[in-house]
Amino acid sequence: MNIISFPERTEWPNLLARPIQSTQQIEAAVAPILAQVRAGGDVALSELAKKFDQIDLSVEQLHVSANELDAAEAQLSDELKAAIRQAYQNIRLFHEKQKQPVEKIETMPGVTCWRKSVGIEKVGLYIPGGTAPLFSTVLMLGIPAQLAGCREIVLCTPSNHPAIYFAARLVGVTNVFRIGGAQAIAAMAYGTESVPQVYKIFGPGNQYVTAAKMLVAKEGIAIDMPAGPSEVAIYADDSAIPAFVAADLLSQAEHGADSQVLLVSTSKKLISSVNLTLTTQLGRLPRQAMAAKALENSKMILVETQADAIDLLNAYAAEHLILSIDNAEAVAEQIINAGSIFLGNYTPESAGDYASGTNHTLPTNGFARAYSGVSLDSFVKKITVQHITPGGLQNVGPVVEAMAEAESLDAHKRAVSLRLASLAEANPA
């Protein structure tokens, strides 16, 4: 990792820049895939599986049968099934507490307003294939969808890992399809003969999947959030344990060569210690080459004061932020830009990735300045409701009339005036 000591604030924007991603070229490659699926449906999906994944997948094989999903449980160890079930319980409990009771507010006598939550009717979950079967993401996306009451939960994944199927059963996924890449996003966005069209698409993926999500979003299909490579920032002082810090840095670096990790500290000694143990731990990783490539894009930054560290971290807006410092909770109150925060030496980011209860689908690439991570709210719409009694209209009506008249919207005013006149006729003074 690159070590930078006491950078000037004017250097921060360049210092904190993520690895550059060329989106134009990727979008140009993805757009024809979307068009092919939109026009060709299931046949196109079969053709694209052959082209990109070298898989002979007939139209009939796109859908994963109920028998296959049921059989997955027997293929997993009891230990893993117990772990998945415990993670399910923790994540469900945390998200269940996010439900908000309906509260009716009388804004003035006779005028009552409230808001109700309604689950998005059809949602799509994308789970990548590759070297890591992300069954944890099935839990992170499926549980809030289940709690929200989404009627149709469609899952697309190129992976046939039994843990993914087992988790899909737990969270109540209604349909699972063997479809990967940009074509999976297209299938859920447009619908095919087999794949139902959904109203919102969730889930991580490579740069082609991300580009596909962004392109369909331009056409009116909702997505969870803009996404980029995974990242972690760690603020550590001399109370931190260097081996723990190094392990946390590597836990994100092993996601992919385009991941980025950042260490910020006021302690030169801590940075040196972490750098030494990082090298040792890296040599033991099965995904060593991938993590090493990510570390080339990563930095250790020595700053003068805690105030500098906080400002720098807020400027970076990390997906994951670990505070391995003495006063972690107090500092967390000063963090305004982060996807998820982890406090103290014994709160590894890995816990949030799997089983503590919080959601691991988080804004990356600086989007934490404006976006939240996935939650129960991501799967619901908020619909406002109001009811006005005759007396309430007599109270609020003159306000509406005055405002409508001032905006030269006579029909708006008339909709109120007619009713007020009717009330006056029915109840003459």
Any known ligand binding at 230? Answer: yes
Residue 339 and residue 359 in contact, taking contact as beta carbons nearer than 8 Å: no
Any known ligand binding at 353? Answer: yes
Any known ligand binding at 161? Answer: no
**Residue in 139, 184, 144, 179 with CA at minimum distance from that of residue 160:** 179
Count CA within 13 A, CB hemisphere, residue 55.
17
- Please give the distance of CA 175 from its chain centroid, rounded to a whole number: 21
**Residue in 373, 358, 376 with CA at minimum distance from that of residue 99:** 376
Q: Which residue has the tokens 């029915």?
A: 426
**Residue in 194, 198, 156, 151 with CA at minimum distance from that of residue 172:** 151
How far apart (Å, rounded) are the C-alpha atoms in residues 216 and 81?
Answer: 36
Q: Compute the Cα dihedral for 19, 230, 121, 385 and give only its sign.
A: negative
Any known ligand binding at 412? Answer: yes
How far apart (Å, rounded) are the C-alpha atoms in residues 123 and 226?
Answer: 17
How far apart (Å, rounded) are the C-alpha atoms in residues 3 and 302?
Answer: 8
- Catalytic residues, which ones? 319-320
Any known ligand binding at 360? Answer: no
Binding residues for Zn(2+): 252, 255, 353, 412
Per the annotation, where are the binding residues?
126, 183, 206, 230, 252, 255, 320, 353, 407, 412
Extract the annotated binding site for NAD(+).
Answer: 126, 183, 206
- Binding-site residue numbers for substrate are 230, 252, 255, 320, 353, 407, 412
